Amino acid sequence: MMAGAPASVGSSSWSSRNWCFVKVYTDEGVVGIGEGSGWPRVVQTAIEDMRPILVGEDPMNIERIWQKMLVSTMGNGMTGTPGSGAMNAIDMTLWDIKGKALNTPVWNLLGGKMRDRIRAYGHAKNAERALELKEQGLTAIKTGGVHRVADQVEDIRKAVGDEIDIMVDAHGPPWYNSKDAIIVGKSLEQFNLLFYEDPVPPDNMDALRRVQDNVDIPIAAGERHSHIWGVRQLIEDEIVDVIQPDTGRIGGISQMMKIAAMAEAHYISVAPHSGSLGPIAEYAAIHVLAAIPNALILERVHDDVPVRYEVTLPHLPTVDGYIEVPNLPGLGVDIDEVVAAANPSKGNTTRAGKEGDGSYEPGTYDEHVYVQTRYSRQKHLRAPNSDS
């Protein structure tokens, strides 16, 4: 279904946001609900393609089915997040089915509850929005971009005070090269960020390692990878301090739990990516975070598009910066199919940013480059309070 971009985020890259929900029906009448991302319209096709290998399986055998999906699709090569997104959706439904069949919440199947509520953060592009979120009770706020980020963080810090945690997401396009990411990161050290997210593209882990070695801020990454193997090096080489598997495309709750265990052995915390996801994947993230010891925080779009609050039953509110862990069997959520059908998908690709917004260097927007070295460096990469 089409979701689009909430006004509170103000990002044109979200205008093509889609959510792909799936239901799996059993012969005993138990229905499981899941969500898959990583290019949702392609994920939908992949789910349909896997139907023949799933029909007739015992839904209680979650790991066996996951392995079957993996080996049944490997002939297509490394399918990336579209492939893992499809597996993710099915895996999520199976956990929901098992919880409902056993009349217990998913978090109980994952080892029991570590905590009763999950800390959540919101997004702010400026100090005014940050203050709105603080007034709503949030205690953590993420900002981002690649244009004069330190000035942006300084304005927000002055507005919200020292008791609020701030995070910076520096993903492109255009992405920083490693040297510019280090320069920007060092200018942010004074603000004691909770983490510095995706400062360089995800394709080159050596570049991220250079940032980790030169910036005294916890480094976060991992949302663009699939399966345990996609994040293995980030964890085993301790390139990140915070791992951010995307709950809609990492490969499912099964993979989330394995990644959390891998991270725990390296004292790495878990902060699932959930910004562009729909509400079903968010429910799954809450169950995982409730059950693992190294949970840090959950990303959440506050004041999202109205359809978010209409398509799920019930919606879990953020109260004083936290989300209560649901106690209903399974994931504890259902979808309104009428609402979903009334918002059909319209496309999944868009151009990020716009001419003159500061992301691309002047006159280069139509070049569509992936990584770009910054010009006017004294002006754009300077630390706050220095001469412009």
Of the candidates 123, 171, 225, 380, the residue annotated as catalytic is: 171
What one-character-per-residue DSSP string does 246-268 give?
Answer: BTTTSS-HHHHHHHHHHHHTTT-
Of the candidates 123, 225, 227, 273, the residue annotated as catalytic is: 273
Q: Is 305 exposed, middle or buried (0-12, 13-18, 19+ CB in 10 A)?
A: buried
First to last CA, the chain: 46
Distances (CA, A) of 333 to 98, 316, 327, 336: 14, 10, 10, 10
Whether the CB-CB separation of 335 and 280 falls below 8 Å is answered with yes
Distances (CA, A) of 203 to 137, 150, 231, 321, 344: 37, 25, 11, 33, 33
d(CA 312, CA 321): 21
Residue the block writes with tokens 């996609």: 230
Active site residue 273: yes
Which 3 state secondary structure label does DSSP give 163?
coil
d(CA 128, CA 66): 45
Burial track 331-368 (b if 16+ CB lie within 10 A, e otherwise) = bbbbbeeebbeebebeebeeebbeeeeebbbeeebeee
Active site residue 147: no
d(CA 24, CA 54): 10
Structure-block tokens of residue 350: 């868009």
Distances (CA, A) of 297 to 71, 110, 120, 308, 362: 33, 18, 6, 21, 37
d(CA 105, CA 269): 23
d(CA 386, CA 383): 6
Residues identified as active-site: 171, 273
